[in-house]
Structure 1
Amino acid sequence: YKDELRASLLTEQGYICCYCMQRISADRMKIEHWRSQDEYPQFQLDYNNLLGACQGGQGSPSHLQHCDTKKGNTEITINPLNNHRNCEDLIKYLATGKIYSDDETIDKDLNDVLNLNMQTLVNNRKEVLELVLKQLKSEYSQGNWTVAILNKKIQQWTNRQTDGRYKPYCQIVIYHLKKKLSKYV
């Protein structure tokens, strides 16, 4: 049953962690209970309460843990699967790779509960963003990024690839390209 569950969560989430968005696979993931099993035993087997998360530095010292491993039973403000509160609109990214929110509670969750500004994750996000911007610059000169070009690139990062997977850390790229796009509109 757990293998089927993992496969289903992976497919649904496009093989990226529900929190940090790094690549996950059946043998390198955890099944996260958004509402903790201890506090809410009635939701333990509720599929809508389950998420696929990375291993989050399991077994490492606390400051090197992130995502579900760091979160433990702590409740967080937004459920990544809740479509009513669009996470993407509440969460922002700096070009340095840092993730933040203007909402104080959510920002605290990102930093203290999930440790998403742990240096490794910040570096990974920054690297992905820099790579995409570098590709854009090599394909088109800086002043030549038309609305069509930016929209095409945003679609490439928003949509799943042919294998059904999202690109790891896709959200930082989408966020920054949309920001650039907004300057044209």
Structure 2
Amino acid sequence: MKRVIKGTEPVSFTEWKALENEQWSPTYRDLKHPQKKQLHTSLLNEQGYACCYCGDKITLDSSHIEHFRPQKHFRHLGLEYINLHASCQGETETPKPAHCGHSKKSDFCEDTHISPLEDDCENRFKFTLLGEIKGNDDSPAESMINLLALDIEFLNSRRKEKLEGIFDNAFLADFTMEELETIIQRSRQPLSGQYEAFDHVVARYAEQLLGH
């Protein structure tokens, strides 16, 4: 899971919601362009163009607006910016296989869900050099992996390729703590506001080598 630090919702979205009157109350279904596109872009910017769940690189076309607490059960949160994120796999895309938001759908349980907004959400997961994701001795983390299908071969193989491109045999045989710290710092800093795919996975693996 990718840590998300929420910013301020776009002014156009706030102003659109403020149009509420006795005859009309805004709902997510009512949200159209340009406000919807501006909202989507705002979410992408604050996430560094990385999926809030798997951390893959995303764009407007390859992502959708995700309700962390699903509208089916939390209709009153349908337009709350704090509940909105950008998840990979676009709205009109037929994802095969489905993962992240499209896998989660309307499932939700307060006791087992981990929010991308939690400060320690990334530390609740760990990765192997084969690209596998596991709970860090954490039952809710295992539940989220299953719910979001974060352990499918499609994601495992891409994470494996990313990790092996950095942590090859030569590096693992002779790395220093300073080199690991540098990798973490670079992976945590988006280039021109955008992360590369699975940068947070690289950072977590380096942190694991440091014993964190």
**TM-score normalized by the length of structure 1:** 0.85
Task: Within 5 Å, give how 1:17-166 maps onto structure 2.
Answer: 17-55=51-89, 58-60=93-95, 64-75=97-108, 77-83=113-119, 86-101=120-135, 102-111=137-146, 113-134=147-168, 137=170, 142-143=173-174, 145-161=175-191, 163-166=192-195
Distance 1:44 1:92 in 2: 31
Conservation of the 8 A alpha-carbon contact between 1:30 and 1:54: yes
Say what the alpha-carbon RMSD is for the aligned residues: 2.1
CA apart distance, 1:158: 1.1
Distance 1:115 1:94 in 2: 16
Q: How many positions carry a matched residue from both structures? A: 173
Deviations 1:107-158 (A, max 9, x none): 02212x1101110100011110001124x94xx6832x22222211111111
The residue matched to 1:19 in structure 2 has which SS? coil
The residue matched to 1:21 in structure 2 has which SS? coil
Conservation of the 8 A alpha-carbon contact between 1:56 and 1:68: no
Conservation of the 8 A alpha-carbon contact between 1:70 and 1:115: yes
**TM-score normalized by the length of structure 2:** 0.75
Distance 1:149 1:60 in 2: 38
Runs of 4+ in 1 over 4 A off after TM superposition: none
Distance 2:131 2:161 in 1: 8
The residue matched to 2:66 in structure 1 has which SS? strand
Report which of the two structures shows the higher radius of gyration computed on alpha carbons. 2
Distance 2:173 2:108 in 1: 43
Q: Is 1:168 matched up with 2:197?
A: yes
In terms of fraction of residues, the more helix-rich structure is: 1
State, as a whole percentage, how many aligned pairs show the same letter: 33
Q: What letter corresponds to residue 71 of structure 2 in structure 1?
A: Q
**Unaligned runs of at least 5 residues, structure 2:** 1-34
CA apart distance, 1:56: 7.2
Conservation of the 8 A alpha-carbon contact between 2:53 and 2:87: yes
